[in-house]
Amino acid sequence: MKILVVEDEQRVAELIKRGLEEHLFTVELAYDGNLGKKMALQFDYDAVIMDVILPQLNGIDLCKVVRAAKPHLPIIMLTALGTTDDKVEGLDAGADDYLVKPFDFRELMARLRTVTKRHQQPGSNNGTKLTIADLVLNPLTMTANRAGNEINLTPKEFKLLEYMMKNSGRVLSRTEIAEKVWDTIFDTGTNFIDVYINYLRKKIDRDYDTRLIHTKPGVGFILKEG
């Protein structure tokens, strides 16, 4: 597999490169956002690992550009910024996963295997519309609407809603959501899943008489009619 690493700290970049090459990956490096963008758009990679704080073009904007041009390219963001807001911003930009520095290289490898495996799985999105009450989700066009009103969702909001609709009527724990939607282990020290649930509530429930997203205190969340 061929990996692009966009990291301005040369020592960190070289350590990642050396570790990946020991696992038989081919690795190319970019030390600023503009070069990373040029390489990501011009060449084919199996995944991109990028820092958030980069010279010339920051990782958030770089991620948005790459995701728009290559929707199925796995992206992992690395950063020293570890708050919930930072993580949400990275995921909203289109990143598949988010790893806070300093990190164990074994964890990076596990995340990398997970995101690349997910993107390689055929038929995971068959385009079948999902419907709950007056809420309709179309995976083929990545659109959602309720009672005929279009709902603008970020990629992660869409993925979360899609998973909840596919499992409607069943209580989903935060751990399950973290594993199935974000392909990560739920960190009890963060509340990013609750943040995304609140985002969805504002978009699909706030302006309607019937709530579809319900909280089961101490257990998790459930999407159901009434």
- Averaged pLDDT of the chain: 86
| Same domain assignment for residues 104 and 148 | no
Note the maximum CA span of the chain.
57
User: Does a structural domain hold residue 125?
Assistant: no
Cβ distance 213 to 223 under 8 Å? yes
Name the nearest CA neighbour of 91 among 203, 193, 161.
193
| Same domain assignment for residues 67 and 169 | no
| Same domain assignment for residues 32 and 109 | yes
Report field, pTM of the whole predicted structure over 0.75: no
| Same domain assignment for residues 46 and 83 | yes
Q: What is the pLDDT of residues 111-144, one digit of tens each?
A: 898 888 766 544 444 557 889 989 999 887 788 9
HSE (CB half, 13 Å, CA atoms) of 88? Answer: 15
CATH classification at residue 67: 3.40.50.2300
| Same domain assignment for residues 16 and 116 | yes
Tell me what pLDDT residue 117 has: 77
Percent of the chain beyond pLDDT 90? 46
Tell me what pLDDT residue 214 has: 94
| Rounded average pLDDT over 79-84 | 73
| Same domain assignment for residues 91 and 29 | yes
| Same domain assignment for residues 105 and 6 | yes
SS (H, E, C) 147-167: CCEEECCCHHHHHHHHHHHHC
**Mutual angle of helices 84-92 and 155-166, in 10-degree steps:** 90
Cβ distance 32 to 8 under 8 Å? yes
| Same domain assignment for residues 108 and 195 | no
Residue in the block written with tokens 């704080």: 53
Pairing between β-strand 26-30 and β-strand 2-6 as defined by DSSP bridges: parallel
Name the nearest CA neighbour of 195 among 179, 180, 177, 209.
177
Distance CA 85, CA 155 (A): 16
| Same domain assignment for residues 107 and 182 | no
Residue in the block written with tokens 């995304």: 196
Q: How many domains does the chain have?
A: 2
Q: What is the pLDDT of residues 53-63, one digit of tens each?
A: 999 999 999 99
Beta bridge partners of 49: 5, 76
| Same domain assignment for residues 108 and 201 | no
Cβ neighbours of residue 71 under 8 Å, at least 6 residues apart? none
Q: What is the pLDDT of residues 147-157, one digit of tens each?
A: 989 999 888 88
How far does the chain reach from its first CA to its final CA, in angstroms?
A: 47
Domain that holds residue 197: 130-223
| Same domain assignment for residues 108 and 135 | no
Name the nearest CA neighbour of 138 among 153, 127, 151.
127
Q: What is the pLDDT of residues 147-193, one digit of tens each?
A: 989 999 888 888 899 999 989 888 999 888 988 887 766 666 668 88
Tell me what pLDDT residue 123 has: 41
Tell me what pLDDT residue 82 has: 64
